[in-house]
Structures are given as C-alpha cells and as structure tokens.
Structure 1
Amino acid sequence: MKNILFITATRIGDAVLSTGILAHLATRYPDCRITVACGEVPAPLFTALPGVVRVIPLRKFAGVGHWLWLWLRCVLSRWFMVVDLRGTGLAWFLPTWRRCIFRGKRRTTTLHRLQEIAHVLQIEEPPLPRLEVSPETKDVAQSLVPGGEFVLGIGPTTNWIGKQWPAENFVTLITRLTGADGLFPGARVAVFGAENEHAAATPVLDSVPQERRLDLMGRVDLPTAYACLERCDFYIGNDSGLMHMAAAAGLPTLGLFGPSQDRHYAPTGPRAAVVRTRKSYDALVGAPGFNHRTTGTLMVGLSVDAVIAAAAELWERCRDGDGVS
C-alpha cells in the first residue's frame, strides 16, 4: 500500500486544476492511499475522488504556523511520495521515497497553470481536471436542477470586483440569449455563487422570470454546486473557481477575462473558451491609479455583443464536434 501526500491550493480554481494530477496518481498507483492537504474552502471537492482516503483542510496561522501544523499531522507517517504543488519545501522534512515539489514563478512563464503543475511529475500532456461526487449528492442536484429543459449556468460574481463583469451586462446577456430569437430560447437560468455574493447577483436573479430561475447562490456546498453544473447545458461566468468547476464538469464553458491572465487560467478542455476585454491584462493593471484594493470593475471593455458572439462560436463548435443537441 503506497501512501501519497498531495499538497495543493487554498483557492478553488487552483485546487480544481490540480485534480487531474491527482487522478493521474490514482491511476498510476492503483493501490495508493492519498492524503490531500488543501485550503478549507475547496476541501470538500476532494472527498469523493478515487484514491483519496483523507483530506486535511489547512487552517491559516501566523507566519509558517499552518505548515508546522500540517507537518505535525504528517511526520509520523511513512510516505511513498510527497507531491507539493505549493512549493513549500515541507516535503524535505517528511520521510518519503520520492519528493515532487513545484518550483518556479508563474508570472515569469507563458505556460498555463495546468502545464506548470504537470511538470512537477514530468507529465508532458497535462491531464484535465476531474471531479467526482457521491450518488447522494447527485440526487440532491437532480432535485435542484430537474431535467427536461435546457439550462444556462451563469456565474455573475467573483472574489475580486476588478474581474467582475457588470451585473447589468449579465442581465442583457441573459435576456438576449434566452429570448425567442436567442441562442438558447426559453432556457432556464441557474445562477451560481457564494452566499456573501448574493447581493451583487440580485439584479441578475431579478431579471429572470421566476418560472425559469434557479437560484443556487449560497444554497449549496461545493460538491452539490458541481453536481448541479453537470446538469447544465452551457456556462458563462467570470474568471473564478466556479468557471473551472464548470469546465471540469464537461459542459461548454465560456470564461470572461480582463484583469486576469487567460494564458495562465483559461478554462480547460475541448469544450471551453474565453472572451476578454479589448485591453490586455498588462494595460488594465498597469493603468495610472490602479489599486487592487480600491479599483472597481475593469471589465467594462467587454461588450455584450462580444460575449454573445463567443458563446455562439463555442456552441457551434461543441455541436459540430461532439453531437450536442
């Protein structure tokens, strides 16, 4: 029995991107027992993954206190392999046969994050993110997102206002896409996000007729949100963890980008695409007066027309490529 310690991200998006590497390990070492150490928020996404026997949610302490806390929980185990995607160096202080440690600075490379972490295990073709949930979770999702009608998933919020496309743009987008002459006429609309983001999404929710509205904002945990995404037919959202979850679910996913780098964080897979502001990342964050903490949305340069055109192109590609109907 091979024990593997897998240290991954605190943010949802990075954590989701790492699940393909985790699946690779579970396939390569079918008798392995994987312990995952990650942030408290994404931790529930790992519990049902093949090979995972334990998930350690990392709590933030002052200084390096959280790494000492993790070391105390791992040092008495004999590890076959320690995979450290955080580049902490903790692996050097644990008994193990093999250490795979992330090295390098993301901002100095043109590689996608998926390629960067794949290099830790010397994998040439990065495995795509892969999430799984329990049958019970799927049953809950079925009750929340019943089948039978087309469902458009929308992610109108994000963890930083600078990356957030204006709510009024989402309202116009949904109205046009689901109108009689739209790309998805009469579609139900499932709105995803955290509970503390509900107020920001209220204009979007209010714009959808009640009989077609599926309000999932803060009402489900992450595994259930993923299972609900699996039941959607198309997803459009800001650059966020939900965007990466949607892409991992395999549905056509369109990510909206501006002051974040799509070359590093575009949604992955053959059914994913991005559309970004006319201005580049460097132009947006390098503008005079830019302040990450106080600057408002930098997404106004992305028009509704551009998003609709990108959605139509992605939908046509998916229909032609894999028989979506």
Structure 2
Amino acid sequence: MLNIPKEKISKILVIKLRAIGDVLLSTVVLKNLRHNFPHVKIDFLTEPPSKEIIEGNPYVDELIIFEREKNSLKKFYELRKRKYDLVIDLFCNPRSALLTFITGAKYRVGYAFRGRSYAYNVKLKPRKEVHHNVEFNLDALRALGLEIIDKEIYMPIDENAENFAKKFWNENKLNEKVVVALNPSGTWETKRWRLEKFARLGDEIAKNFKAKILILWGNQNELEDAQKISSMMEIKPIIPPRTNLKQMASILKRCSFMISNDSAPMHIATAVGTPTLGIYGPTNPYAQGPYGEKHLWVRREDLDCIACNLTKCPIGNICMKELSVETVYSAFLKLVEKNKESTGFPF
C-alpha cells in the first residue's frame, strides 16, 4: 500500500469510460476522494452515454466527455496539458490505459491487466475472491492509503427531472399507491428474462398488492417490448413517456419497488434508494448485483453454468428461459418483507 503525500496533489482525474451502470457504481469513489482531498480539483472522464450519471455530482469539479469516434492527437495533448497529479483508471481497458499514460501524472493508478501495465505506476491486483464492483472501485483508493468513509453510489437528480416525475405521478394518480416498476431491458440478450414472464409477474403483483405497474423503457426496441408486455397483461400497466436518465431516476425514486434484469436502470433504482430485485443469469450478482442492504437478487441456483458471463448461450439461455414466475414472485415477497417497515405501506 502506498501512502500518497496528499499535500502534493492538486488535480485528480478519475476515468470510467462506460457502461452506464458501471459508471454509476464507480461514483462511490468520489465522496471518498473529496473527503481525503477537500481542496483539490477532481475531474471525471467518461463517454457520452454516461454524461447524466456524473453531471451534477457535488464531488466533481469538471466532467470531461471522451468521444471515441473523435479521437485525435489534439485531444490527447489537451488532456496532458491539464497536468494532473493523480489519475485513477477504473476502466482499465487498452484505451483508458493509454489515456492514463498520456496524462503524464506522477501517480497513475490502475489494474495492470495484460498489455496495460506500462500505463500505471501504482499497479493494482484484483482480489482472488469474487467481490462487488463497488469494492473493486474502492480498492483503488485503499491502495493509496486513503480513508474510506462512505460506500454509497450517487445519482444526481436535477429540478427539471423532479418536476417531470412529479407531473407524471400526478397525471397518473399514483400518490399514496403501491407502484412497482418492471424493467425488461438489458444490453445482452442473455441477460433478459422473457417478456411473457414479466407480464405474468406484473399481473400477480397488481392483483395481490393492488399495485400500479410501470414498465420502463429507453430506446425504441425497449418501448416495443414494453408494449408487448402490456398487451399480455390482464391489468393494464402504465408505460411512461420517453425519459432521460435523470428523469428515470426521479420516477424510480418515487416507486415502492423495482424488479429488473441486470442493467443500468437497476443500478439507478438502488442509487435512489428504491428496494430492488435483480433477475440474474449469465452475470454474477456477487460482483454486479443491486448494491445495498435493501435489495435482493434471484437466479437459478441449480445450474452449473450460472454466471457464465456469455453474451451468446450455446444451450438456449436456460438460466433465464427456465427461471419461473413463481420463483421470481417468491423472491419479490422476500423483498417486500425485508422492506415493509421502511416503505410505509401496509402490506
């Protein structure tokens, strides 16, 4: 462990290029950095899709957007001109390693995966045991001898997003109602539970809890999936209008519960404090699950291939295809029981 001389640090850069959920999980380092370096400039570099995750974060002085298709020597030179003292690469792919190296910072922190060791002079070694991505990110600070005072991820929500969600809530008469959000999206096909099962689950919850069901979506394909789920449900759900990430966060903050595939909206729900049930198959919930004491996850524990991390399944994606509605509903009941005192609803 290196005890970094704090008095020699005046500018810090944190790099986490993508994806949206992973960038959100990396925000755990920011409050801790500010605690250890209360008077230094802290910047954050990410790609455009994650802009809203960092924009408005009180612990970040400047957000730098890196656009891959506009890579140029000029941009690299501009990054070097900023003269950072400490760069922490939490992405550690070949591109982020190069960016870290180019800064010329005195302290360059990163996981020295194959072919990237040259970029870092504070080389991190991943733990042998499986651990959550939040802890993976915090380990970078521990390696510098920094004090960890907080383990919360942070999603900033602005006034416009709050007004959007409040208007949506009022228009749909959702105040004082049990509202359960369902999120059928996922970046990999193998991470997605079947639409017809989401429909059956939604009906079961709507009937038994007199709940209003929201079906979340982001892009056009996800809107079509939401509409398919709606068409299969006996008790019609509510499909919100198009939202940006902050508006989605503000809507989720008002929900009683969230049930979601492993995805960015799932992590956003946990960040705003909504009790969340994650549905898992190829990814590992011990590393990428909903983070925090309020939340639970469910998966097929009987499969040897569970958490295979494959984007294409050679045996028919049975971890998701054969995960029953009854199993997920039973896990939801446990989530309700776990949070019945904090939710304020008489379940």
- Specify if TM > 0.5: yes
Deviation at 1:300, TM superposition (A): 1.6
Q: What is the match of residue 131 of structure 2?
A: 111
* TM-score normalized with structure 2 length: 0.80
Which secondary structure state, in structure 2, belongs to the residue aligned with residue 242 of structure 1? helix
Matched-pair contact (CA < 8 Å) for 1:258–1:280: no
Instruction: Check if 1:317 corresponds to 2:323.
Output: no
Which of 135, 157, 161 matches 2:189?
Answer: 161
Distance 1:80 1:142, change over 3 A: farther
- Render the CA deviation track for 1:154-177: whole Å, top value 9, x for unaligned: 101211111111111001001011
Number of residue pairs matched by the alignment:
312
* Equivalent residue number for residue 276 of structure 2: 253
- How far, CA to CA, are the matches of 2:308 and 2:260 in structure 1? 21
Task: Specify the alignment match of 1:73 in structure 2.
Answer: 78
Does 2:205 match 1:202?
no
* Letter aligned with residue 204 of structure 1: I
- Between stretches 167-176 and 188-197, larger displacement belongs to 188-197
- Unaligned 5+ runs, structure 1: none
Q: How does 1:129-144 map to 2 (within 5 A)?
A: 129-144=153-168
**C-alpha distance in 2 between matches for 1:276 and 1:97:** 44
Query: 2:79 matched to 1:54?
Result: no
SS in 1 for 2:81: coil
Is the alpha carbon distance of 1:221 and 1:209 closer, same or farther for their aligned partners in structure 2, counting shifts above 3 Å? farther
Distance 1:175 1:306 in 2: 15
Q: Match of 1:227?
A: 250
- In structure 2, do the counterparts of structure 1 residues 207 and 318 end up closer, same or farther at CA, with 3 Å as the change threshold? same
The structure having more radius of gyration, on CA atoms, is: 2
Match of 1:265 in 2: 288
Q: Distance in 2 between matches of 1:226 and 1:232?
A: 10
CA RMSD, Structure 1 to Structure 2 (Å): 2.9
Distance 1:66 1:263, change over 3 A: farther
Are residues 293 and 256 of structure 1, via their aligned partners in 2, closer, same or farther at CA, if it must alter by over 3 Å?
closer
Query: Could you tell me which residue of structure 1 aligns to residue 169 of structure 2?
Result: 145
CA shift in 2, pair 1:151/1:67, >3 Å: farther
**Cα deviation digits, residues 130-154 of structure 1 (max 9, x gap):** 1111122211111123333221111
Partner of 1:120: helix, strand, or coil? helix
Q: 2:165 is paired with a residue of what secondary structure?
A: helix
Indicate conservation of the 8 Å contact 1:162/1:296, yes or no.
no
Distance 2:73 2:141 in 1: 25
CA contact (8 A) 2:200 2:233 kept: no
Deviation at 1:274, TM superposition (A): 0.4
> Secondary structure of the equivalent of 1:169?
helix
Q: Which residue of 2 aligns with 1:82?
A: 87
Q: Deviation of residue 297 (structure 1)?
A: 4.5
Contact 2:18/2:91 (CA < 8 Å) preserved in 1? no
Letter in 2 for 1:86: F
What is the CA-CA distance between 1:100 and the residue it aligns to?
Answer: 2.6
Cα distance change, pair 252–42 in 1 and its aligned pair in 2 (3 A): same
Unaligned runs of 5+ in 2: 1-8, 114-124
The structure carrying a bigger strand percent of its residues is 1
Amino acid at match of 1:308: Y
In 2, are the aligned partners of 1:156 and 1:238 still within 8 Å (CA)?
yes
Matched, 1:96 2:105: yes
Asked whether the equivalents of residues 184 and 216 of structure 2 are also in contact (C-alpha less than 8 Å), the reply is: yes
Counting aligned pairs with the same residue, the percent is 23
